[in-house]
Chains A and B, each alone.
Chain A
Amino acid sequence: MSADRETNQNMTNTDITLLLADAADEVEIGIAPYQAVMRGGRRRRARRWAVAAATALVLAGSSATLAVAGLPGGDGNRGASVATRPPTATPGVLLPQDRSLLAVGTDQGREWQVSVDVWPAPRDESQARASLNAMERYGETPVDIDTPAELVGKIAYFVTRGVGGTLFAPTSQNVVTEADALSGKDIEAVAVPLEPGSDGPQRLVVGHVAKTALQVTCIWKDGTTTEVHRARSSDVNSDEFVIRSPEGSPFDWFVCLAPEGTEYASAKVTG
């Protein structure tokens, strides 16, 4: 035992390196599962809030007419022009419910609005093809969906924001399934400048929470907070920040805007 201890004392860090190398050789390396990594990576990319990338991709993949249009639906009495939806006569296509308003407000005298289109999951490939065509006409192209088959069973959503009467390309988008529903205090949020393309502070926060969440608290970098409560039926077009349940979405949504002079720090479910 004492000999062991003595040997231990003499054990150098080089010995450790060699021992680790020896132990590491024990693992079975196998063939790199490149295809599986790619599939997993694409799934992850589809799930994340690829705000900048998604916006760039969508803009690149669609016509410039997307960039400027009127704000549709929702709070029509706030001076925003109403866009007419392109005709979608394709039989069998599942259209999104009316564009769901997530939040509306006025900042520095300019009206802004965030809304989401939730496209129901196509049941088969032909329906998925029709849905993709319809999405394209809406200027909504899901990144990471290469073939109609990939869309079958998946809900697609596109979050759009408009400022001062200009509707911008989707701020974020994703394809999800019912299994992506959130629970408990799960929260996913992204912060962006209110004005797309600007380098300004990340004041606008858009996020998901479980359908059971009653309250979200957005925490700003200056230490102040904004509380977002679950919407009541009377809050449908309210300019208060509320948690909303767009039809067809597997999770609920909230939006909040940091006061001028500060920006997003974090958000959590607090009720």
Chain B
Amino acid sequence: MGDRKQARDGEFQRFVIGRWPRLMRTAFLLTGEQHAAEDLVQSTLEQVYVAWRRVGSADDPEAYVRRVMINAHARKHRRKLREFLAPKDDSGIVREIADTGDRIAQAEDRNALLKALAQLPARQREAVVLRYWEDLTETQTAEAMGCSVGAVKSNAAKGIAKLRAIPGLAGMATQGGRK
């Protein structure tokens, strides 16, 4: 009994350590803020831990984790809690960058994208992040968001259209991102 629990905890630890970077990036795109992203991932993983016995042995634990994270993000909006992404000012959205000209430009570009994301309604932001950052299919995205494929298509299309309409992103687009 104890051994099994220990084995499960070990498995969960490996899962947390392995997935943490990716989850942090996704959460950052959803929340737009370092600490909010950390909170979202941590609270997601806490919920996953509770169900780990079932989740760990599932075929696709990632899908469960995504669902929990999107639910947590959506719940935050439903409750109208403080949304760090609200485009109030630039502070806290992008951390300090070394002051070379190129890096400043990159920081500005990223800032523009994060602000643009921030201006999207939560469901559109979720659809864009899951489809174009997580690279999920429409069906997988619908599953994570708990909605229909049609709603995913609609939200993603609206989100992308709004991003395209933001002039600040044009310069970045020509360079295909700066990675």
Chain A interfacial positions (CB closer than 8 Å to B): 1, 4-5, 7-11, 13-30, 32-34, 36-38, 40-45, 48, 53, 60
Contacts and interface: CB of A to CB of B under 8 A. Distances in A.
13 contacts: A4-B170, A11-B169, A23-B117, A25-B25, A34-B16, A37-B16, A37-B49, A41-B46, A41-B48, A41-B52, A42-B49, A48-B50, A53-B53
B129 interface: yes
Contacts of A36: 42
A20 B133 contact: yes
Given A8-B165, A26-B28, A21 B176 contact: no
Contacts of A22: 106, 109-110, 113, 172, 177-179
A223 to B, nearest CB: 24
Contacts of A38: 9, 12-13, 49
B37 interface: yes
A236 to B, nearest CB: 36
Contacts of B165: 8
A252 B149 CA distance: 42
Given A10-B173, A16-B160, A37-B45, A26 B110 contact: yes
Contact of B16 (A4, A28, A32): A32
Contacts of B124: none
A26 B95 contact: yes
A28 B38 CA distance: 10
B129 A60 contact: no
B173 A33 contact: no
B90 interface: no
Interface string B157-179: 00010011111011111101111
A226 B21 CA distance: 48
B114 to A, nearest CB: 6
B94 A13 contact: no
Interface of B: 1, 9, 12-13, 16-17, 20-21, 24-29, 34, 37-38, 42-43, 45-50, 52-53, 94-95, 106, 109-110, 113-114, 117, 128-129, 132-133, 135, 160, 163-167, 169-174, 176-179
Contacts, number: 134
Contacts of A33: 42
Which 9 residue pairs across A and B have the least CB separation, nearest first? A41-B49, A18-B177, A32-B20, A27-B28, A24-B25, A40-B46, A11-B173, A7-B170, A20-B133
Contact of A17 (B25, B53, B135): B135
Contact of B133 (A1, A4, A7, A17): A17
B158 to A, nearest CB: 13
Contacts of A24: 25-26, 28-29, 133
B110 A23 contact: yes
Contacts of B43: 40
Contacts of B132: 13, 16-17, 20
B99 to A, nearest CB: 16
B18 to A, nearest CB: 9
Contact of A11 (B17, B38, B170): B170
B171 to A, nearest CB: 8
A135 B163 CA distance: 60
A13 B157 CA distance: 10
